[in-house]
Chain A
Amino acid sequence: MDLTRRAFLTRTALIGCSAAASPLLTPISFAAAPFEQRFVVIILRGAMDGVDVVQPYGDRALAGLRPKLGFGEAAGALDLDGMFALHPGLAGLMPLWAAGELGFAHAVSTPYRDKRSHFDGQDLLEAGTAELGAATGRDGWLNRMLQTVPGLSTETAYAIGHDEMTVLSGRAPVANWAPDAALELSPQARRLMEKVMHDDPLFRDALAEALLLARVEGVMDDEAAMGGMAGMSGMAGMGGMEPATQGLGAIADFAAERLRGPARIAAFSIGGWDTHAGQSKAIGRALGELQETILRLKAGLGPIWGQTAVVAMTEFGRTARENGTGGTDHGTGGAALMAGGAIKGGRVYGEWPGLEERALYQGRDLMPTRDVRAYAGWIMRGLFGLETSLLESAVFPGLDMGKNPGLTL
């Protein structure tokens, strides 16, 4: 790939002088990233109903639990393997399923139990620890993974969007940026800005990183304009999809663009899963966004999709039984989605606990049979070759990853 030497040199030079002038803690190098595989983590905020997304229509108890919500082929869902059917909101991903590039893990959860608070649930999902407020502080598990990898640059990992991504925050350097962010300052204004922020570390560091990332953005745009990155951006690189100007489409495009460059890790979130009422409509909308996101990533990554794994996970599942207002309430076990050319898809992973009353957690929720962190752990084991002992101590402290489910190629 001609990610031109010139581009590399130009960028190194640019960043080089900014690094000299800025108090960024980490020296910036654009040496090749420590690995070639790409890993995208999507946090689904609001508790996705796994039982509606990957419908266990082969389980005879489902009909009694969800008489009104509907499920299976009668409700437009698409058969996956005779036991599970895919919600029609993800119908556009069926070609990926057929190609073995889409899979699911079912009956999963974090160790979070019983209080069923979104906010604590998300904190624990992103912390990756067994309990809240564990010794790791506000580190996210994806950041702790990066802390074990030598030779990172500031651009190895991107947290994208306007909300805070705790999953990627911590000591390892991470780029935080949004597709619509920009920062253009004259040289004089820049010097003065650095001066007024110099004594406040929070502002000083954020400014240094913003200036750096805005420059990277500028360089990338220039290259695209000069044709240096022809075929790498714009419509040609998007598999015919129009570039999105806002929302999740823009985030996915941005992630794909960075991952084609020096970035190896990206994390962002998708909301809208808290479906207490009118679930059919609401979940359809959220699934539409998830689907578009994955298709855009695939289109934008082009051949790199082959070495990419995407995992989408949520804080907990929802009640096995539908509630009285056409929705579901906060539950426990749920599902995670995995996609990408590096994933061994075409399978619904996990041990199915059954939906009979006595099989449910507290007689109410899908019983989790495996920790969702084990799946994330095995993906990272497969992608980056990290030792399970390391994953079980530094990344997900106290986790027993169990048997290798063989998620990656």
Chain B
Amino acid sequence: MRFDPELAEMRFGLGLSPRVTGPGDLAAMLRGVSGADHMAVRFPIEPFSAFLARLVVNRELRKERRQAGAGSEGFTAATKQMSLGKRDARMAQGDWLGQQVQRRVWSESGFRERLVGFWADHFTVQGKAGLLRRAVSPHVEEIIRPHIAGRFADLVIAATTAPMMLHYLDQESAVGPGSALADEMRAKGKLKKIGLNENLAREVLELHTLGVGAGYGQEDVHQLAKLFTGMTYQPQVGFKFQQKAAEPGAETVLGVSYGGPGNAKLADIHAALEDLAEHPSTGLHIARKLVQHFVSDAPDPDLVAHVAGAFGATRGDLGAVYAALLEHEAAWGADLVNVKPPFDYLASAYRALALPEGAFVGMEERDVQRHLRVPLMQMGQPWERPPGPDGWPEEDAAWIHPQGLAARIDWAMRGPGEVMAELPDPRDFVTAALGTRVSDEVVFAARAAESRREGIGLVLASPAFQRR
């Protein structure tokens, strides 16, 4: 396999940049995934543990409000503080979106940012109510980002026990019917709070580990749901294994028994997650998804087998898995194939345009809306609001339909000019954005456009720029 630095930036990275040079060989590319995380330092995002402080404040204010009583001065004051807290979190969410664009403009290790995006999507979470609706980026920063180059099992454990996952897939409120907490509640007549649901257990098996085609059944889902009881979180401490709420006794998942007589333990949940993470079906599922995401909607079977082989041989060492993906000839087909999803598209455009550092810092809310959120929504990818726990679609046809393409063109022709005071000369920009993969048609269009803005827009709208 001959390393093609340009293709590496396009297909496995964030696109070409006139200012930042990507890795020169495979080893450098892999080092960039696990080395010092310069982008996290340069464009910081609040980690989830810090975000929790917002929840604590909110909870205290709610308590204050209750104590003051409706109609009192204290009630009004606390209500006002609460809505300020909400506003602050909403604005922070916009800032973090800007930071993520900036990371993609300036990163020297595009593969790293892409992997963070890939795994954040693989383990999709959403905030369903209140302040948590703003907490996705902090979650990704703390739970996903530090774990992308280690063992897959560690990533699975981090993602499954994350407060945002417990919240999104309804695990936080589950109480084992045979647990001590259930007994307490029965005594108090709080019957409504006893019991569990299958949401997280099903998605862990179907989406996060084995994959839907694997040999698990309804009973495995049910048993895993019972095993998961006890996992919850509290604003003061984050994740908490609440032994009292956990179902006592052993559960059997895929024929393996976890736990035993006596108290349920978090270690039993970890053991099950380890086994699921190292299962051969999981290796195949992850390999197929990686190839589909990075290489083609129609994954090459040899390449998938090669990546799955590395997964199996190393028991899910992600560094080895990435190396297998990148060392295979089939990953480097010269034609650009996959269509960039909207966020990747928009960010790669700003990378090619070398958006000045700070352009999205301290932006007014309405500008975040106009420049980032609305375009992403119209392109079909509203920020941090994927359609379900399976995340965003991979298929090109899911993005390039008339309404999606219209939104991309509309943004390409107009958006960058509204954000950047100075746009490059379209004739130079053709090469900056497309490198050697430039066609006569695009060169002609960039030259024949009636304005600088339109010239830039035509280059950004060209299929060569929208694919990777």
Interface residues of A, Cβ cutoff 8 Å to B: 45-46, 67-68, 114-120, 159, 161-164, 169, 175-178, 180-186, 188-189, 192-193, 195-200, 202-203, 206-207, 209-210, 213-214, 271, 274, 276-277, 323-327, 329-330, 362, 364
In the complex, are the beta carbons of B406 and A323 less than 8 A apart? no
Residues of A within 8 A of B406 (CB): 181-183, 210, 214
A197's partner among B170, B197, B206, B463 (CB-CB below 8 A) is B463
CA distance A159 to B291 in the complex (A): 30
Q: Are B378 and A210 in contact (CB under 8 A)?
A: no
Contacts of B410 in A (CB 8 A): 182-184
Total residue contacts A-B, CB cutoff 8 A: 168
Residues of chain B with a CB closer than 8 A to A329's CB: 197-199, 202
Task: Tell me the bound Cα distance from A189 to B378 in angstroms.
Answer: 21
Nearest residue in A to B388 (C-beta to C-beta)? A118
What residues of A have a CB within 8 angstroms of the CB of B441 in the complex? 195-196, 198-199
Q: List chain B residues, Cβ under 8 A from A200.
A: 463
Q: Does A193 contact B458, Cβ atoms closer than 8 Å?
A: yes
Most A CB atoms within 10 A — which of B174, B378, B403, B410?
B403
Check B409 against A193 for contact (C-beta < 8 Å): yes
Asked if B403 and A177 sit within 8 Å, CB to CB, the answer is yes
Sample of 30 A–B contacts (CB below 8 Å): A45-B388, A68-B192, A116-B202, A119-B390, A162-B378, A163-B380, A164-B393, A176-B401, A178-B403, A183-B410, A186-B454, A189-B413, A192-B454, A193-B409, A193-B458, A193-B461, A196-B458, A197-B461, A199-B441, A199-B463, A202-B397, A203-B466, A207-B405, A210-B403, A274-B199, A323-B197, A324-B174, A324-B175, A325-B170, A325-B197
Residues of B within 8 A of A45 (CB): 387-388
Contact for A181 among B191, B196, B402, CB less than 8 A: B402
- Please state if A183 and B198 are interface contacts (CB–CB under 8 Å): no
Q: A188-B450, A203-B466, A277-B197 are in contact. Are A195 and B378 (CB under 8 A)?
A: no
B132 shortest CB reach to chain A, Å: 14
> How far, in angstroms, from A214 to B403 measured CA to CA in the complex?
9
In the complex, per-residue mask of B12-44: 1 if CB is within 8 Å of any chain A CB, else 0: 000000000000000000000000000000000
Contact across chains for A119 and B212 when beta carbons are under 8 A apart: yes
Instruction: Please tell me if the beta carbons of B458 and A162 are within 8 angstroms of each other in the complex.
Output: no
Q: Contact flags (1/0) for B68-81 with A, using CB distance below 8 Å? A: 00000000000000
Contact flags (1/0) for B450-468 with A, using CB distance below 8 Å? 1000100110011100100
Decide if B396 is an interface residue (CB 8 Å cutoff): yes
Closest Cβ neighbor of B412 among chain A residues: A193
B143 contacts the other chain (CB 8 A): no
What A residues does B378 contact at CB under 8 A? 162, 178, 180-181
**16 more A-B contacts (CB under 8 A) besides A45-B388, A162-B404, A181-B407?**
A68-B191, A117-B202, A118-B388, A119-B390, A161-B403, A163-B387, A178-B403, A188-B449, A195-B441, A206-B400, A207-B405, A210-B403, A210-B406, A213-B402, A276-B170, A323-B195
Q: Is the CB of A203 within 8 A of B405?
A: yes
Q: Does B130 contact A (CB under 8 A)?
A: no
Question: How many angstroms between the C-alpha atoms of A185 and B405 in the bound complex?
Answer: 13
The 8 closest A-B pairs by CB, nearest first: A324-B195, A210-B402, A200-B463, A276-B199, A277-B170, A181-B403, A183-B406, A192-B445
A196 B463 Cβ-Cβ under 8 A = yes
Q: Is B444 an interface position by the 8 A CB rule?
A: yes
Q: Does B280 contact A (CB under 8 A)?
A: no
Neighbouring A residues of B431 by C-beta, 8 Å = none
Question: Are the CB atoms of A277 and B463 closer together than 8 Å?
Answer: no
B217 within 8 A of A: yes
Q: Which residues of B contact A161 (CB under 8 A)?
A: 403
The reply to whether B403 and A176 form a contact with Cβ atoms under 8 Å apart is yes
Inter-chain contact B173/A325, CB cutoff 8 Å: yes
CB distance A277 to B173 under 8 Å? yes
At the interface, yes or no: B236 with Cβ under 8 Å from chain A?
A: no
Chain A residues closer than 8 Å to B199, beta-carbon distance: 274, 276-277, 329
Would A327 and B197 count as touching, CB distance under 8 A? yes
- Return the chain A residue nearest B445 by Cβ: A192
Interface SS, A side: loop
Q: Which of B191, B217, B387 has the most CB of A within 10 A?
A: B387
When distances are taken between beta carbons in the complex, the residues of chain A under 8 Å from B91 are none
Please tell me if B442 contacts chain A, counting CB pairs below 8 Å: yes
The docked-state distance in angstroms from the alpha carbon of A203 to that of B395 is 14
Out of A68, A185, A198, A364, name the residue touching B413 (CB < 8 Å).
Answer: A185
The digit string for B184-197, where 1 denotes a CB below 8 A from any CB of A, is 00000001101111
- Indicate if the CB atoms of B458 and A203 lie closer than 8 Å: no
Give the shortest distance, in Å, between B123 (CB) and chain A (any CB): 16
B177 at the interface (CB under 8 A from A): yes
Does B393 lie within 8 Å of A196, measured CB to CB?
Answer: no
Q: What's the nearest-Cβ distance from chain A to residue B48, in Å?
A: 21
The minimal Cβ–Cβ distance linking B233 to chain A, given in whole angstroms, is 15
Residues of chain A within 8 A (CB-CB) of B413 are 185, 189
CB distance B402 to A188 under 8 Å?
no
Residues 424 to 454 of chain B near chain A (Cβ within 8 Å): 439, 441-442, 444-445, 448-450, 454
Q: When A178-B403, A206-B405, A277-B173 are in contact, do A164 and B442 touch as well, CB less than 8 Å?
A: no
Whole-angstrom CA separation of A207 from B400 in the bound complex: 9
Q: Contact check, A185 vs B409: say whether CB atoms are below 8 A apart.
A: yes
Residues of B within 8 A of A192 (CB): 444-445, 448-449, 454, 458
Closest chain A residue to B195, Cβ basis:
A324
A177 to B397, CA, bound (A): 14
Query: CA–CA, A271 to B457, complex, Å?
Result: 34
Question: Which of chain A's residues have a CB closer than 8 A to the CB of B457?
Answer: 189
B359 interface residue (CB < 8 Å to A) = no
A20 to chain B, nearest CB (A): 19
Q: What residues of chain A lie closer than 8 Å to B212, measured between beta carbons?
A: 115, 117, 119-120
Query: Which among A176, A197, A325 is the interface contact of B195 at CB below 8 angstroms?
Result: A325
Within the assembled complex, what's the spacing in Å between the Cα atoms of A381 and B454? 50
| Cβ contact within 8 Å between A175 and B402 | yes
Q: How far is the CB of A216 from chain B (nearest CB, A)?
A: 11
- Bound-state Cα–Cα, A114 to B410, Å: 44
Bound Cα distance from A271 to B126, whole angstroms: 15
Once bound together, how far apart are the Cα atoms of A180 and B396, in whole Å?
21
The interface residues of chain A lying within 8 Å CB-to-CB of B439 are 196, 199
Known: A203-B400, A324-B177. A274 touches B195 (CB 8 A): no
Which residues 367-390 of B sit at the A interface, judged by CB distance below 8 A? 377-380, 387-388, 390
B349 to chain A, nearest CB (A): 15
Contacts of A210 in B (CB 8 A): 402-403, 405-406, 409
Nearest residue in A to B404 (C-beta to C-beta)? A162
**Most A C-beta atoms less than 10 A away, residue of B197, B401, B439, B444:** B401
Known A-B contacts A68-B191, A177-B402, A277-B197; A197 and B462 likewise in contact (beta carbons under 8 Å): yes
Q: Are A188 and B463 in contact (CB under 8 A)?
A: no
- Residues in B with CB closer than 8 Å to A120 are 212
Assess whether B170 is in contact with A327, with CB atoms less than 8 Å apart: yes
Q: Shortest beta-carbon distance, A324 to chain B, in Å?
A: 1
